[in-house]
Structure 1
Amino acid sequence: MEAMGVAAALGLLLLTAGGSTGDEAREAAAVRELLVRLLGPGPAAAFSVSVERSLATESGLDTYRLSGGGAGTRVQVLGSTGVAAAAGLHRYLRDFCGCHVAWSGSQLRLPQPLPAVPEELTEATPNRYRYYQNVCTQSYSFLWWDWARWEQEIDWMALNGINLALAWSGQEAIWQRVYLALGLTQAEIDEYFTGPAFLAWGRMGNLHTWSGPLPPSWHLKQLYLQHRILDRMRSFGMIPVLPAFAGHVPKALTRVFPQVNVTQMGNWGHFNCSYSCSFLLAPEDPLFPLVGSLFLRELTKEFGTDHIYGADTFNEMQPPSSEPSYLAAATAAVYQAMTAVDPDAVWLLQGWLFQHQPEFWGPAQVAAVLGAVPRGRLLVLDLFAESQPVYVRTASFQGQPFIWCMLHNFGGNHGLFGALESVNQGPTTARHFPNSTMVGTGMAPEGIGQNEVVYALMAELGWQKDPVADLGAWVTSFAARRYGVSHGDAEAAWRLLLRSVYNCSGEECRGHNHSPLVRRPSLQMVTTVWYNRSDVFEAWRLLLTATSTLASSPAFRYDLVDVTRQAVQELVSLYYEEMRTAYLKKELVPLTRAGGILAYELLPALDQVLASDCHFLLGSWLEQARQAAVSETEAHFYEQNSRYQLTLWGPEGNILDYANKQLAGLVADYYAPRWRLFTETLVESLVQGVPFQQHQFDRNAFQLEQTFVLGTRRYPSQPEGDTVDLVKKLFLKYYPRAVSF
C-alpha cells in the first residue's frame, strides 16, 4: 500500500472507532456546557452550537463553520465533532473578539454586541490528529490534580482542537488486580510500584520501587479521576489513548513462575538496580501474551476503549540485543497482546527511542520495529520534531503513519525558551516530505504551565495548511489579545523576546534550562546563550513601562513576573562569571562583592517577586500534594515525593535538578543556600590559599539539598506582596548593572 494510502486507511479506521452520528447531540451539549464554564450563562446564550458529522471533509477531516453574530443575532458554531466545534468557538473568540485562553488565566472581555462574522467561515484541519501530552507530563504537571483542575485542562484541550490525548490515570489499580490474579502478594506489588511523583518512569520500565509504595487511597482516587477524565474527553469526541503492556514485569513474577524467560535490563538515569534494571519478558515466553491480554481485558472492562493504546518497551533503555529478529519479535509481541483483546487496536508509540539513542537504532533496527506491526496500525509520535525530526532519516517511518510533535519543554522547567521559527515551518515541511505519512501535529511537553506563546502558536498550526506568514505580526496580536488591549511597549517587548529567547535553532534547542541559577554551582558552569541578553533586559524595561496601563491584567502581571525571573536568571549568569573570573585571578574583593550580590541580595529579591504571583509558589505545589492525601502520614509522604522530584530526583541526587523550577520558597531555601555555600567556599579557598575542591563542595551541597527535601517547613500557598512594586524595586537596583555588563 502506498504511504498516503496507509495514512488515509488509518484515518478511516479511527474515524469509525471515534464516534457515530448518535454522538452528535452529546458532543454539542458538551461544547455548550464548556461555553457556560468559560463565559458564564448570560454570554454563553449568545452562541448556538451544533455538531454534524456530515460537515467533515470527504477524507474525514475535522471541520468547523462560523456564521452570524452582530446585534440581536446569535453566533452560529457548527462542527463535525465536539472538538471541531470547540476549536471553531475558540477561533471566533480569538480572532473576532480579541480574547485569549491560557494556562495562567484567560482574557475574555467580549465586545458588545458580539461581532458579526462578515461571511460564513469554514475551516478544515489539514490532518486527522491534534495530539497532546508526553508520558512524563502526567508526573511533572498533572501529578496532584483533582477533578476541577482536570476539567479546566480538558476544556483547554477542546478549545485548542486536541482530539487525541493520553489518559493514563488509574492504571496501577488495574495492574494491581492483574498481579494479584497472577499470584503476587500485596507486599510484592507495593514493593514494585514507584511513588506518585515517579510513576511515568515506572510505566515506561525505567524505574521501580523508588519513593513508593502507593497507598490504597491513591488507587481509589485515580480510578475515580480516570472515569471522569474519559467521560469528559469522549463527550467532546476526543480519542483517549489508554495504556497497554510493554513487556516489563515485577521481579516477583519469577517467584511465581520460576521457569519464566526474563532479561534484566541495564540501569537507567544514574539509579542502581535497586530502583532500575527492569525485568523484560522474552517475546516468545507464553507469559507475554497472557500478561498483556489480562491487563488490557481488565482495563477495557473498567474503562471501555477507543482502540488506541500507548506502550514504550525501550524508552531510554538499550534493548538486550540489536538483532533485527529480536527487535521485531519484541515489537510484535506487544502488538499481538493488544489485538488478542481488541482486534481493532492501534499502537501509539513514542518515537523518542530512535532519537535518544541514534547510535543503536540504525536502519536495520528501526526497520525491524516499524515493520513488525501491520502498516496503519502503528502510529508513531515524532516526539522532538521541532529540533531533531526522525521522519527525515527513516523515510517517513517507512510507511507507518506519524504525528509531527513539538516537545519543547523538559522537566517542566521555567525559563523563556522556544524555537518558534522551526515550530512554524516544521509541520508544513513534514507534510510536503516525499511520500509523507504525516497524519497529525502534536504538543508533547514533559511539563506545562510555561512559555504559553509557544503552545498558542502550535495549537493554531494544527488547523493551518501553511506556516504563519509573519511571526512578528502574529506575536504582536498575541500580546494584544493576551492583555485585552494594544500597547506599543508591551508589543515591542514581545517582538524582542521573539527574536531572542524564542529564536533558538540548532543543537542548543534542547528545551532544558541549564542556567547556573538552578544548577549546583561549580567553576565549570556554562553561561553562553544563543541570543543577545540585552534583548531580554530591554523587553523587561518595556514591560515595566506598560504597567500604568496594563497592571490590572492578570496575564500581564504573570508575564511581568516571568520576564523579571528571566532577567534575574541572566543576571545570575553574569554575576557568576564575575565570581569565577575573580577567583581565577585570586581577587578576593571582586569575588566577595559579586558572590554577595548574587547569593544574599539578588536571589532573595527574586524570591519576593515570585511570591507575588500564585503561579510561582512552591507552597501551592506542596499544598496540592498534601490535599491529595487522606491522612497526615500520606500528606507528608506526598510532599516528600514532590520535593524529591523538584530537586534531587533520586536518593543520591541521581538526576539532580532535572525538574528544576523557579518558585518562591525553592529559590530562597534551596538555590540560594547552595550559592551562599559556593561563595563562602571560594572565599575560604582564597583566604587559606588552598584549591577549591569540587568533590568536597558537592558533598556539602548535598547535605543542604537533602535538608530541604526532608524538611517540613510550610510555604505560603497564596501570593504575598505587590508584583509591580517589587519588580520596580528590583529593576531600579539591577537594570543599570545589567546593561553595563
Structure 2
Amino acid sequence: AAGLHRYLRDFCGCHVAWSGVQLRLPRPLPAVPGELTEASPYRYRYYQNVCTHSYSFVWWDWPRWEREIDWMALHGINLALAWGGQEAIWQRVYLALGLTQAEIDEYFTGPAFLAWGRMGNLHSWGGPLPRAWHLKQLYLQHRVLDRMRALGMTPVLPAFAGHVPKAIARVFPQVSVTQLGSWGHFNCSYSCAFLLAPGDPLFPLIGSLFLRELTREFDTDHIYGADTFNEMQPPSSDPAYLANATAAVFEAMAAVDPDAVWLLQGWLFQNQPEFWGPAQVGAVLGAVPQGRLLVLDLFAESQPVYARTASFRGQPFIWCMLHNFGGNHGLFGALEAVNQGPAAARLFPNSTMVGTGIAPEGIGQNEVVYALMAELGWRKDPVPDLSAWVGRFAERRYGAAQPDAAAAWRLLLRSVYNCSGEACRGHNRSPLVRRPSLQMNTTVWYNRSDVFEAWRLLLKASPNLTASPAFRYDLLDVTRQALQELVSLYYEEARAAYLQQELVGLLRAGGLLAYELLPALDEVLASDRHFLLGSWLAQARAAAVSEAQADLYELNSRYQLTLWGPEGNILDYANKQLAGLVAHYYAPRWRLFVESLADSLARAAPFQQRRFNRDVFRLEQAFVLSSRRYRSQPQGDTVDLARRVFLKFAPPRAAGAS
C-alpha cells in the first residue's frame, strides 16, 4: 500500500488526506523506470494517541474506520492502537468477579470520555454506557482488526494497568487499593482512581482474566498498551514501589501471553518531570525485561525525553510527533523540528530508537504536518528543502501548479508552521476560543502579516483552483485563521479602550468583534462540511439506537467541545471552530464580555471577572444543555464568502495589495 501511495504521489501527482483525495490520474499512467526499492530505517511507523479515540474516532461507523485504515496503510503505518470494544470485555470480567451491572454502569464514563476512563483519570462522568454501545463497539473492533491485519499492520490491544472500580472492595473486602489524587479539576465524584496494590493477589488475577478474555475474543499480535500513572502522581516516589507497580502490569500480560510486549506512552515522564527523576524513571524502565517495553516518546518534536533518559535506559522507543491537543482547529506546526527530529534521535549515542510515530490527540487539521511526518517514517535523512517540499505538496494537493498558491504555502511555512521553543505546546490559545477576560495573552511566534498575505494570495489563486475541494478547504482554513488573528487585534483594541476609559473605542472594537466578525466567521465555516457543528452532533446521534441514547451522546459531544466537565473543569480544552459553535457559544460569550465592560465604564465601577465568570457560565451551560438542531449540510460558496470577508475585514496593507 505504501508503494502504491508512493507511485500515486511521485509519479501521478495525487494526494490522499483526511479532508479528501485528489486522484486525477494521468492518461496513460506513467511508467516506472525500472524497479524502485525503498527500505525504512525504522521497524515501526506508529499511529494514534489514546485520546484520539475520544476526540476524533468516538462516533465513527465502519465506512469511516475503513477510510482511516486505508489512509494508514497508504502512509506506511504498521503499528496502531486498536482499543475499541474493551469496555464490553471489562464488563464480562467484572460481572464474573461479582460486581453488579449497576456498579459497572456507575464506573464507565460516557463515550466521549472513554480515553480518560481507560487511563484511570476519570470514572462515571458522561455515562452510563448503554448495552447497544458495547455491541456496536465489539462489531467495529472485529472489523478494524480484520482490516489492519489484512493490510499487514500490528494492532496494539489494551491490557490491565491496575485501575479498578470502587465496588471491587465490596466483593473483596480484604483487597489492598490506594485512592489516587484528583485529575483535571474534577473532584473524587468523577476522578481519584482506585489503584490495586501491585502485591495484591487480585492484581495478576484481574490482569490475566481480562487479557485472556480479550485475546479469546480478538486474537492477538502480542503488543499491548497500558498506562498506570498517566497525569496522576503515584502514591510513592520510592523506586522499589514504582518498579513493583510496573512489574505487576507486565507480569499479568506475560502470564497470558509469554511473547507480550508492553507499549507505554512516555507522556508521564514529560508531564511531571519534577516527580520523575532519574531514579523513578529508571525504576519503571528497569522493571520490564530489556526489549519487552516499547516506549512512545510522545511529544518528541517539542520536549523529547530520550535525550535526558539515556535513550530510555536501553529500552526501545518510538520518536513521536504529538502536535495537536484536544483536536483544536488553528494553523500550527513545528515543521523544522519535526523534519530534523527523527534523524537526530536515530543518531543519538547508543540510540534505541526503533520507529517514528504520529500521535495527535485529535486529527482532521493541519494536514501538511501529518504528510511530512508520514514521509519521514520512510526517510533516513531530513527533507533537504522544506520550502520546495511544501510547494510540491500544494501542487499535488490541488492537482495543478499555481504560483500564488505555492507562495501562500511558503508564507505559512515560515510563520504558523515555524514554531519553536516554549510556544510549541501545540494548544490554540487564541482569545477567540477562550472565556474572555482582561488578562488574555495574544502573543504569537510569527508575524501575523504573513497569514494575511497568504490569505490574499490564495484568493488571488482561486480562479484557477475553484474545482479543487482541497483548495476550498484550505482557503476556508486560512480565512478562519486570519479571522482568528483579527479577533486578537480587536480584543487588544477593546481592552486598551477599556483601560483608558474610552467607551466609544470599546464599543467600536468590541462591537466589530462580537457582532460582525464572529457572525462572518460562522457564515464562512458553514460552507464546508468539515467545519459544521451539525455534522459532529449528527454523527453522535447516528451512533445511538434510541432517542434517549441519542440525547446522551449529543450531550457528551457538547460537553467535550466546551465545558468538558460539569463545572467547566477543563474549559475549552477541546476547542473547535465550527459553524454553530461560533454563533451560539463563542459569540454570546464575547457579547456579554463587551457589554459587561461597557456597563462597568458607564457605572464607573471596576470590571468584576468573578461575577462575569458566573454569568458567562450560565450561557455556556445553556449551550451544552440546549436541544437546538444544527445544519449537517454546508451552505454558501466558500470562495465567494472568503472574498467578501477579506474585502470587509482584511488589514489595509493586505486589502490594498489585492
**Aligned-pair CA distance for 1:739:** 5.2
Aligned residue type for 1:387: S
**Which of the numbers 549, 555, 565 marks the counterpart of 2:464?**
549
**Aligned-pair CA distance for 1:120:** 1.8
Contact 2:646/2:655 (CA < 8 Å) preserved in 1?
Answer: no
Aligned residue type for 1:170: G
Contact 2:111/2:127 (CA < 8 Å) preserved in 1?
Answer: yes
**Aligned-pair CA distance for 1:613:** 0.3
**Aligned-pair CA distance for 1:117:** 1.3
Corresponding residue number in structure 1 for 2:567: 652
1:144 aligns with 2:59: yes
**Aligned-pair CA distance for 1:368:** 0.1
Corresponding residue number in structure 1 for 2:217: 302
**Which of the numbers 125, 148, 151 marks the counterpart of 1:210?**
125
- Aligned-partner Cα distance in 2 for 1:263–1:739: 60
- Aligned-partner Cα distance in 2 for 1:736–1:681: 27
Corresponding residue number in structure 2 for 1:27: none
- Aligned-partner Cα distance in 2 for 1:650–1:409: 20
Contact 1:405/1:441 (CA < 8 Å) preserved in 2?
Answer: yes
Corresponding residue number in structure 1 for 2:200: 285
Corresponding residue number in structure 2 for 1:194: 109
**Which of the numbers 233, 240, 246 marks the counterpart of 2:148?**
233
For residues 432-482 of structure 1, give each alpha carbon's deviation from its aligned partner in whole angstroms, at most 9, with x where no partner exists: 000000000000000000000000000000000000000000000000000
**Aligned-pair CA distance for 1:116:** 1.2
Aligned residue type for 2:647: L
1:474 aligns with 2:389: yes
**Which of the numbers 400, 416, 440 marks the counterpart of 1:525?**
440
**Which of the numbers 715, 730, 734 marks the counterpart of 2:630?**
715
**Which of the numbers 358, 364, 367 marks the counterpart of 1:443?**
358
- Aligned-partner Cα distance in 1 for 2:241–2:458: 57
- Aligned-partner Cα distance in 1 for 2:25–2:317: 39
- Superposed CA RMSD in Å reads 0.8
1:694 aligns with 2:609: yes
Corresponding residue number in structure 2 for 1:352: 267
- Structure scoring higher RCO (CA < 8 A, sep ≥ 6) equals 2
For residues 616-672 of structure 1, give each alpha carbon's deviation from its aligned partner in whole angstroms, at most 9, with x where no partner exists: 000000000000000111111100000000000000000000000000000000000
Contact 2:119/2:226 (CA < 8 Å) preserved in 1?
Answer: yes
Corresponding residue number in structure 1 for 2:245: 330
**Which of the numbers 578, 581, 586 marks the counterpart of 1:671?**
586
- SS at 1:714's partner residue? coil
For residues 158-203 of structure 1, give each alpha carbon's deviation from its aligned partner in whole angstroms, at most 9, with x where no partner exists: 0000000000000000000000000000000000000000000000
**Aligned-pair CA distance for 1:725:** 1.0
**Which of the numbers 250, 261, 273 marks the counterpart of 2:188?**
273
- Aligned-partner Cα distance in 2 for 1:332–1:101: 42
Q: How does 1:425-444 map to 2 (within 5 A)?
A: 425-444=340-359
**Which of the numbers 487, 491, 498 marks the counterpart of 1:576?**
491
1:509 aligns with 2:424: yes
Corresponding residue number in structure 2 for 1:112: 27
- SS at 1:122's partner residue? coil
- Aligned-partner Cα distance in 2 for 1:740–1:611: 24
Unaligned runs of 5+ in 2: none
Corresponding residue number in structure 1 for 2:44: 129
Contact 1:619/1:715 (CA < 8 Å) preserved in 2?
Answer: yes
1:415 aligns with 2:319: no
For residues 80-125 of structure 1, give each alpha carbon's deviation from its aligned partner in whole angstroms, at most 9, with x where no partner exists: xxxxxx0011000000100000000000000111111123211001
- Aligned-partner Cα distance in 2 for 1:721–1:424: 38
- SS at 1:440's partner residue? strand
Could you tell me the TM-score, scaled by structure 2's length?
0.99
For residues 241-268 of structure 1, give each alpha carbon's deviation from its aligned partner in whole angstroms, at most 9, with x where no partner exists: 0000000000000000011000000000
Aligned residue type for 1:151: E
Contact 1:537/1:738 (CA < 8 Å) preserved in 2?
Answer: no
Contact 1:480/1:491 (CA < 8 Å) preserved in 2?
Answer: yes
- Aligned-partner Cα distance in 1 for 2:72–2:614: 44
**Aligned-pair CA distance for 1:740:** 9.5
For residues 552-571 of structure 1, give each alpha carbon's deviation from its aligned partner in whole angstroms, at most 9, with x where no partner exists: 10000000000000000000
**Aligned-pair CA distance for 1:736:** 3.4
- Aligned-partner Cα distance in 1 for 2:120–2:548: 28
- Aligned-partner Cα distance in 2 for 1:348–1:547: 46
Unaligned runs of 5+ in 1: 1-85
Corresponding residue number in structure 2 for 1:70: none
For residues 303-346 of structure 1, give each alpha carbon's deviation from its aligned partner in whole angstroms, at most 9, with x where no partner exists: 00000000000000000000000000000000000000000000
Aligned residue type for 2:367: E
- SS at 1:546's partner residue? helix
Aligned residue type for 1:695: R
Contact 1:571/1:738 (CA < 8 Å) preserved in 2?
Answer: no
Corresponding residue number in structure 1 for 2:538: 623
Matched residue pairs, number?
Answer: 656
**Which of the numbers 563, 570, 582 marks the counterpart of 2:478?**
563
- Aligned-partner Cα distance in 2 for 1:736–1:190: 54
1:99 aligns with 2:14: yes
1:598 aligns with 2:598: no
Corresponding residue number in structure 2 for 1:62: none
1:682 aligns with 2:597: yes
- Aligned-partner Cα distance in 1 for 2:62–2:14: 25
- SS at 1:340's partner residue? helix
Could you tell me the TM-score, scaled by structure 1's length?
0.88
1:159 aligns with 2:71: no
Corresponding residue number in structure 2 for 1:311: 226
- SS at 2:72's partner residue? helix
Contact 2:294/2:317 (CA < 8 Å) preserved in 1?
Answer: yes
- Aligned-partner Cα distance in 1 for 2:452–2:651: 10
- Aligned-partner Cα distance in 2 for 1:571–1:737: 12
Corresponding residue number in structure 2 for 1:461: 376
